[in-house]
Chains A and B, each alone.
Chain A
């Protein structure tokens, strides 16, 4: 390996050839401010358009300042990151960016989490010396995402996520000069585009240009309405990330505090999406075994592999991009929707109230869940199964507004019956978790034997595409795992070409799965945070007494009292769905 010797701020540093000045500086603890640049280590995701010039540094012997994020370190280089010249240039660039930025900070949804605001603070900007034209681009509201392009600084991170990581291709820079923006084709609204609402553009936008649609107001109104019973479900990935919003270490599990906070907010019952994740495993696992059985009996019509269907962004993706294959994914609804459907039928029945008087709120790591709960097929007489989906971030904001001292809350337990879950339900929140949960149950139901070991290390990790073969007592079952829609696309293209090796595939849209969801606390490019969230979920799983979905006593009871058996007619009606061809 070729090594390079240079000095940065008079400190010697040795790096591998090809390293940028930015990374070289980072390796010795020197931070150069950046704005457009973003790198997600281990996920192979990097945005370096070199456009903003905030990262300029002085290199001895060069006339021009060099952008550290996209200039390679060379032998003998003498870099100074905070010379007067570099600092002044940086401040000028930032002032120019700010001269075309609305000064809405006080009321901006991104306030406190905005990288532009943070930079203005760090560079000590107290005045903007430039006056220029202000952009006035219309705002665009969709069922899940709001685009306010006056706040766009054209870093193009969203474009990179949408095109390279997700291969959805909704967003592109358009026009030139002052009028350039990042937009869908023909400047159509997001709602009319093939956007999946995965929210990965929102997750990386440094400013308030892309945010989720805020439903907290509607939830507060429902909570204040004495005629309504308001219940809440919490997705698995929320408990591994919510603490970050209250300055707790990434990876801290806050399950008990989460439950306590929701009770303080006034929810009548606090339930867990993990419960319906267990239910999903019962339905999806049974579907897998049925298809497998028919396949082994030589049925030529049976569709394999089976694909998971709990991620609404993934569902919308294949409805737009692979409608010819829409009978391949499992028909099982997502855990959010199974919960809503059971709550408004079975649980409303237990309470003896009409479904209209029951309001179901969900707390999700996800932006797409807002869109999912509004899909027509998930409503009865126009009354949706899930009324509102809040992101982890929205919940954090609500807790703060309500003056609840989150860190001081004592742990509390979920309510019965829809709050009881297993370790299998918990790991739904990470890439590889859904399929591991499915394998735990499918193995035992298929072989009739107890699993020798519950953990399937071969299914875990952060690689974008993973595969493993699990031995079902002599029958090899080939499993695939993809997160990030680019990886999903690869598997689907293989399948379309007729050379797929798999029996079952798990697909999650967000890198890392829901722990990296578009509605989670902002990671600001730090992948370690995602890994810590992932470890937290595996920890919660191993602490659970029951770790297989089919052993959840309340799930058993639900089938005995209400549904009959998995894939029964009633289960079909309440827990399964159909997909649509969304090509025009």
Chain B
């Protein structure tokens, strides 16, 4: 496993979150939730630090991280792609759009391309059913997407960033 070094600020953040839950082992899920919200993902080093702060074994922390699909150990891509799987989008072909993204990017849902550019995830209804099927790249929404358009959408981000709003925060 490649190891990263946590920045001082990340260490600080994690410790603060743990502290805010009284460094209680029983609060593990809440702690992980908040840490992931702040850092985007939960790599090994983060889990080790959380384990240390909550005074529990890393194996148990890892057990919880791998139990809930919400938690991820993989950093989001520079351009996170989310595909709505709400009923309306699903009925109107979201599944095929998703398969096309998987095929083009050669990654599964929850994964990130090796160059770190794109990550793929599914969403529940984003509330723009009129535009279904809907996908988002970062904050930018694309409506009525067909599998044929996928290639072009990816190409938009391949070279650089066409619109800054799409960049993940």
- What mask results when residues 59 to 97 of chain B are scored 1 for a CB within 8 Å of chain A, else 0? 111110011000000000000000000000000000000
Stretch at the interface among A180-188, A226-234, A365-373, A422-430: A180-188
Contact between chains at B1 and A172 (CB < 8 Å): no
Query: In the complex, which range does the number of interface residues on chain B fall in?
Result: 10 to 19
With a CB–CB cut-off of 8 A, which chain B residues contact A185? 44, 47-48, 57-59, 61-62
Closest chain-A Cβ to B34's Cβ sits at a distance in Å of 21
Complex formed: what's the CA distance from A175 to B44 in Å? Answer: 15
Contact between chains at B66 and A175 (CB < 8 Å): yes
| A172 touching B63 in the complex, CB below 8 Å, given contacts A163-B57, A186-B1, A188-B1 | yes
Specify the chain A residue showing the minimal Cβ separation from B73: A186
Contact between chains at A186 and B57 (CB < 8 Å): no
With a CB–CB cut-off of 8 A, which chain B residues contact A168? 57
Closest chain-A Cβ to B3's Cβ sits at a distance in Å of 9
Query: For window 125-145 of chain B, which residues contact chain A by CB distance below 8 Å?
Result: none
Specify the chain A residue showing the minimal Cβ separation from B3: A584
Contact between chains at B63 and A170 (CB < 8 Å): no
| A169 touching B59 in the complex, CB below 8 Å, given contacts A186-B1, A186-B44, A188-B1 | yes
Query: For window 159-214 of chain A, which residues contact chain B by CB distance below 8 Å?
Result: 163, 168-176, 183-186, 188, 193
With a CB–CB cut-off of 8 A, which chain A residues contact B58? 169, 185-186
Specify the chain A residue showing the minimal Cβ separation from B58: A185
Complex formed: what's the CA distance from A176 to B62 in Å? Answer: 12
Specify the chain A residue showing the minimal Cβ separation from B67: A176
Decide if B123 is an interface residue (CB 8 Å cutoff): no
Specify the chain B residue showing the minimal Cβ separation from A171: B59
With a CB–CB cut-off of 8 A, which chain A residues contact B153? none
With a CB–CB cut-off of 8 A, which chain A residues contact B63? 172-174
With a CB–CB cut-off of 8 A, which chain B residues contact A171? 59
Closest chain-A Cβ to B107's Cβ sits at a distance in Å of 19
Contact between chains at A174 and B66 (CB < 8 Å): yes
With a CB–CB cut-off of 8 A, which chain A residues contact B61? 185
Q: Can you sample 25 A-B contacts with CB below 8 Å?
A: A168-B57, A169-B56, A169-B57, A169-B58, A169-B59, A170-B59, A172-B57, A172-B59, A172-B60, A172-B63, A174-B63, A174-B67, A175-B66, A183-B59, A185-B47, A185-B48, A185-B58, A185-B59, A185-B62, A186-B1, A186-B44, A186-B47, A186-B58, A186-B62, A193-B59
9 pairs of A and B residues whose beta carbons are closest in the complex: A169-B57, A172-B59, A172-B63, A185-B58, A185-B62, A185-B59, A174-B66, A174-B63, A175-B66
